[in-house]
Structure 1
């Protein structure tokens, strides 16, 4: 009988999941409480994307209260973890940082560099290597000006990596919040003023048929309006255009009558067969006790990404 799986694929808290494949082994990193030894960022290991073994925590602490959304890039025999850290309530002082290790399970030691020191708030770093070998970093920053369809709130920009710990300092807008479903919180006090705050975050990029698809999660991470959509460009630096039908999350959203809420903040990984693509994301249980790691297959139908997810019943395993 063919193997099946059922979401979530890991029982403990594991938000903002990112999966790296190295030497045939999958390593997952997520946002979750730190370890008893003080280390941060849980790391898991798997051979099939379904059965996951915890390896402890990968990041040596730097004294912050919040460590969010780690992603790891492999380059030149070393591993670079991009993450944000801060200590203010709600993490409103988050700064992007990078840590380095000689093994995907760590330990990762922070380099001491702030990647975008001029930003008061920067999160959700996503390193992306184009087919020509150039690395880019997608990340989130706040926008306080109303411009056309754009709403006030958190949006996604992209910059070129000069080396693995240095940005060119020329960020370009990828996508800003522009739809009603992107609302994070009405009348939110931020930067000394009150705004109807909107959010798009959690960039994850796929290159398909020569185009670059930047997937994002929009809305409020703790509510059922959270979901995944995308924008597309001919170059990693843009300009990015929006597909038709963006009045709702196009790839993944809270299902009616399902067993989960608020699917989002995803990454993508190739399956063990070497050809299939899988979306790795988090979702709440209905009681909202935790965000846990889930997976579903991604296919392209008439040039458009599609998935059966979010799923909560038995599915064919990768």
Structure 2
């Protein structure tokens, strides 16, 4: 068994116990995500916080400064090294991680070392309703306070150690005031859709160097505000024989009473480029299984990269597959949704196209949308064209979504659109650099309104915090 497998096995044992939080019961494997503060069990009134980027526990009260309250607030997100565990992101965008056993705040570099150092697996604390946080990559060590400083120390089976390493999750000292990101943590390339009375988001899991994330998750909501995390729905390492990383830009469509997930993937060995695959499930929340056991589209089969798939189904029931980076392609899918006639593939030519095709229909007009520039560029933006059919021809209309520097919003792109059923209300999901310290591999997902002018053109989309 290799080191990664051993770590996963140990962390799985750790998270198997049950934790009950004061406000919301949860098992240790499903610790609630979102904004929280963490109070010391044996020093009530002292909370985990950072001071000069070093972790410690300090008194925080209603009379404390806004800075102290902010420093004692963290967003609990899926673990950077494992979705079965958790990471803690401060309000300044940095992550709590251990280095030389000391807890400190640092920017997510996306490296395997950082991801492991910043991931903790929960187990029962010393008193009911408390949690103890076990280091993901050093499962014999736990986060504890020592002289009010935070360290990752070797576990000691003593009452003192158990108390020093136990914390209660409480309401955040600094409640979330902005509506975005809509799902806590680092995600990108969101595909938003509507199935059976609920909205669903399928994003790329972000925060990995070279965008090497190995799995996809699904989220759902009844109101586009409160989202439920349904966990991992497809894992390249476990579920896909031909890919083990680069789980990029999923898109899900319902057809034939089933759900089809189109995705991009690559292999760590061989470096043969990215392929495009398709998986199938009886549920929008999976689990999905590889439908073909091989790529649907091989790297190099067509110009550009075989990434960023999207499926549009027209009113007559015909579905079309769009994909590409550097060059956009489209082909009608066969009724089985997992095959097509290669002779029917067409290349779409629109000025400025980079990636992330998306197609919708409103009234009798088809809209072909895409992202321009590079996702690492703060000028990453969304443009669109209109046409008379899913195959065009397309007339470019301009840019509709771009950065808003006065709010610190950069890199707005790789979007998708959903219509509120039975209405002319539309919403756009997209990613941006995580605010305030994000980058092209540290992105977050948000949702805003999209409206149309009287002439059918899309009004500029205003990105908001």
Which range, TM-score by smaller chain?
Answer: 0.7 to 0.9
Q: Does the aligned pair in 2 maintain the 1:39–1:57 contact within 8 Å?
A: no
1:84 aligns with 2:296: no
| Distance of 1:282 and 1:260 partners within structure 2 | 10
1:283 aligns with 2:437: no
**Offset at residue 72 of structure 1 (A):** 0.3
1:168 aligns with 2:341: yes
Corresponding residue number in structure 2 for 1:294: 446
Q: Does the aligned pair in 2 maintain the 1:78–1:102 contact within 8 Å?
A: yes
Q: Map of 1:200-279 to 2, 5 A cutoff? A: 200-243=354-397, 246=398, 250-271=399-420, 274-279=423-428
| Distance of 2:361 and 2:250 partners within structure 1 | 21
| Distance of 1:5 and 1:175 partners within structure 2 | 38
Give secondary structure in 2 for the equivalent of 1:257.
helix
| Distance of 1:305 and 1:162 partners within structure 2 | 31
Corresponding residue number in structure 2 for 1:101: 281
| Structure 2: unaligned runs, 5 residues or longer | 1-176, 208-212
1:161-214 residue CA offsets vs partner (Å, 9 max, x unmatched): 0130012212222235x34xxxxxxxxxxxxxxxxxxx6111111112312111
Corresponding residue number in structure 2 for 1:157: 329
Give secondary structure in 1 for the equivalent of 2:307.
strand
Corresponding residue number in structure 1 for 2:230: 55
The answer to which structure has the higher strand fraction is 1
| Structure 1: unaligned runs, 5 residues or longer | 142-153, 180-198, 313-318
| Distance of 1:29 and 1:78 partners within structure 2 | 16
Give the RMSD, CA atoms, in angstroms. 2.4
Corresponding residue number in structure 2 for 1:191: none
Corresponding residue number in structure 2 for 1:188: none
TM-score normalised over the length of structure 1? 0.78
**Offset at residue 307 of structure 1 (A):** 4.4
1:217-244 residue CA offsets vs partner (Å, 9 max, x unmatched): 110101111000001211111221222x
TM-score normalised over the length of structure 2? 0.54
Corresponding residue number in structure 2 for 1:67: 247
How many residues in Structure 1 have an aligned counterpart in Structure 2?
Answer: 268
- More moved, 285-294 vs 162-171: 285-294
Q: Does the aligned pair in 2 maintain the 1:158–1:172 contact within 8 Å?
A: yes
| Distance of 1:6 and 1:47 partners within structure 2 | 16
Query: Which protein has the larger Cα radius of gyration, Structure 1 or Structure 2?
Result: 2
Q: Classify 1:92/1:225 alpha carbon distance in 2 versus 1 (closer, same or farther; 3 Å).
A: farther
Greater RCO (CA < 8 Å, at least 6 residues apart): 1
The answer to which structure has the higher helix fraction is 2
